[in-house]
Structure 1
Amino acid sequence: MTPTLDTRPRIIALMGPTASGKSAYALDLADRLDGEIVSVDSVLVYRGLDIGAAKPARDEQARVPHHLMDVRDPWQPYSAAEFAVDAAVAIDGILARGKLPILAGGTGLYFRALLEGLAAMPEADAAQRAAIAAEAEASGWPGMHAALARVDAAAARRIHATDAQRIQRALEVYRLSGRAISEWQRDAKMKTSCWKVLKLVLAPPDRAVLHARIEQRFDAMLVEGFLDEVHALRGLPELATHAAPLELPAIRAVGYRQAWQWLDGDGDATLFRERAIAATRQLAKRQFTWLRGELAARWFDPVTQRMPLDAAVAGFIGQPSA
């Protein structure tokens, strides 16, 4: 029996931990293959978060069209469900222009929302979130993680004990519905993709190499004026008058939270740097946990395995490799 030819439009998904080289490789691919980039990053969506978020420079954005960056102010909410809708619109527009869509980022929830769909679980509830935040103030987020483990052991195994945002959401869903978030996620119907997707994980095999890149990149951010950027954010009226700016997803982002705390007088410059680098390494660790679950993805180090990486892309899009 002759196999059915897959005629779905092709898109490339570049996944990986922070500081792994995704953005640089996405730019290179877009240059070579006439592509446009769709950012899959929950920090790049915010205006004003540039240096600390490693947002592509203005000349890079001018060289290659980028989508889903600077779509919200840092005090505005933006959900994974909204991202999925916006990203699908961006992808369809890129395909309509005859270009290659290149997804690039490290936010696993955004990738899942776009490529697999999300469970129809309860919407966010401000009162419930406030109650959980108050409990966390008293017992700490590790204590809230222990509370989550008692009602949803599967979710607690996936969520780090200091990941406040995900702990809060998991507890919120359980308290609103009486049902574990892991059950909602398990029952979610997988979205039948209208695109053929090549999933590539870009990451060095040696974790120490990534840790060194994280440290080097953070020091470069400081030289570029990261603290001036955070000063400017603190001066925005909507943030300066916000009751709890550190509870906003934008300001909770690694680096920004630690800089904000230091500018509030918590610790010295050395401690700030250590905290920010440690938080970034923890983020990378969580990203690796998610990436290991992407069974259909192929792993490459974009530095030492560039030729086989390029060959995988060429084979997917039907072009001879260089």
Structure 2
Amino acid sequence: MATEDRPGTGRDDRRPCAIALMGPTASGKTALALDWAERFDGEIVSVDSALVYCGLDIGAAKPDAAEQARARHHMLDLRAPWETYSAADFARDARTAIDGIVARGRLPILAGGTGLYFRALLEGLAGMPAADAEVRAAIEAEARARGWPALHGELAGVDPAAAARIDRNDPQRIQRALEVWRISGRPISAWQHDAAATRARLPLRVLKLVVAPADRAVLHERIARRFDAMLAAGFLDEVRALRALPALQAHPAPLDLPAIRAVGYRQAWEYLDGQGSAAAFRERGIAATRQLAKRQGTWLRGELDARRFDPAMQSAELERAIGDFLGRAATQGRPTRARVV
């Protein structure tokens, strides 16, 4: 059942409204979020783990200057690419941004595809141990020596539940799960289970929408087309500029950094290190982006209170869902103008 239809959250609910626009990469979220922000007096809160980093623009499909001029954006360019940014950091900063949007009487539009960020923002985080730089450094050193799949195997031995839902090639989540275990002696899955009932949920009435093409082949074609457009726009030059930054040149393992591990950036970095041909780099970048979309799809299928639409085929149904949520007076006579590409 959709969030706004749960008991106690119907039309008598006086909490401010927000829209959570979720979807896999290249599903058309940016165009829809911009259209809705203009039509419904909204501001966009990016829910994307790559967009928080300065310098990750072309390859992360960050809204450009023209798009940012159309609607106010939040949660962009918050950290240098050699810094880290946790889901807890995001939840704190995004809630501050949302408080400001609501205070201005505007509609928060939460748009992105990072599931952990959405979960931290909408549901709150379990009260597990904070990050420990020394423990993280030790885990990263082990990963360089043994590889992340080996550390995933270690995780499976101490926390089978967490290992079952974390991909063996997902360094950030493997690292965090092992870090929690080593600090506390308790599996991260136990922390998450125990705290599930006491999380601080976002105090808004949220319409959760998932947008994605019904045909996976359509999404795959969009991913390839967008990757080629990024290359034409100077993506490799962007990565060369990142590589020239003194802080990244001095880093002992830049590919372990969350920013550089972002899809596309890792493959570009390796290519500029001399690994493979330009054609092979393109194929690896597209394949990695498709794998990201698959992981996002798995997460989105678990969002049982979200409503799902193919924006190209179900624009009228999507419009009705927003109209029912915001009220027909807010949407009447204002058809969707977004174009999904």
Structure 2 length-normalised TM: 0.91
- Does the residue aligned with 1:70 lie in a helix, a strand or coil? coil
Aligned to 1:29: 36
Residue 4 of structure 1, CA deviation? 8.1
Residue 113 of structure 1, CA deviation? 0.9
Question: Structure 1 residue runs of 4+, over 4 Å off?
Answer: none
- For 1:128, give the aligned amino acid: V
Alpha-carbon distance in structure 2 between the residues aligned to 1:134 and 1:72: 23
- Does the residue aligned with 1:250 lie in a helix, a strand or coil? coil
Structure 1 runs not aligned, ≥5 long: none
Aligned to 1:214: 223
Alpha-carbon distance in structure 1 between the residues aligned to 2:141 and 2:85: 23
Conserved 8 A contact 2:126-2:199:
no
Higher RCO structure (Cα 8 Å, ≥6 apart): 2
Q: Residue 105 in 1 paired to residue 112 in 2?
A: yes
- Does the residue aligned with 1:217 lie in a helix, a strand or coil? helix
Aligned to 2:4: none
Aligned to 1:284: 293
- Does the residue aligned with 2:19 lie in a helix, a strand or coil? strand
Residue 124 of structure 1, CA deviation? 1.7
Q: Residue 251 in 1 paired to residue 263 in 2?
A: no
Aligned to 1:181: 188
Alpha-carbon distance in structure 1 between the residues aligned to 2:22 and 2:145: 37
1:39-64 alpha-carbon deviations (Å, 9 max, x no partner):
01111011111000001110110111
- For 1:124, give the aligned amino acid: A
> Quick one: percent identity of the two aligned structures?
69
Q: Residue 229 in 1 paired to residue 238 in 2?
A: yes
- For 1:48, give the aligned amino acid: G
Residue 247 of structure 1, CA deviation? 1.1
CA 1:98–1:4: 2 relative to 1, 3 Å: closer
Structure 2 runs not aligned, ≥5 long: 1-7, 334-341
- For 1:114, give the aligned amino acid: L
TM alignment of 1:1-322, pairs within 5 A: 5-188=12-195, 189-320=198-329, 321-322=332-333
Alpha-carbon distance in structure 2 between the residues aligned to 1:281 and 1:151: 30
Alpha-carbon distance in structure 2 between the residues aligned to 1:94 and 1:297: 23
Residue 229 of structure 1, CA deviation? 0.5
CA 1:305–1:143: 2 relative to 1, 3 Å: same
- The two structures, once aligned, show a CA RMSD in angstroms of 1.5
- For 2:70, give the aligned amino acid: R
Alpha-carbon distance in structure 2 between the residues aligned to 1:115 and 1:150: 31
Alpha-carbon distance in structure 1 between the residues aligned to 2:41 and 2:141: 50
Conserved 8 A contact 2:124-2:200:
yes
Structure 1 length-normalised TM: 0.96
CA 1:287–1:89: 2 relative to 1, 3 Å: same
Alpha-carbon distance in structure 1 between the residues aligned to 2:87 and 2:76: 14
1:160-215 alpha-carbon deviations (Å, 9 max, x no partner):
11111111111111111111111111122232431000000111122221111111
1:82-131 alpha-carbon deviations (Å, 9 max, x no partner):
11111111111111112111000011111111111111211222222232
Alpha-carbon distance in structure 2 between the residues aligned to 1:46 and 1:138: 27
Alpha-carbon distance in structure 2 between the residues aligned to 1:53 and 1:192: 28
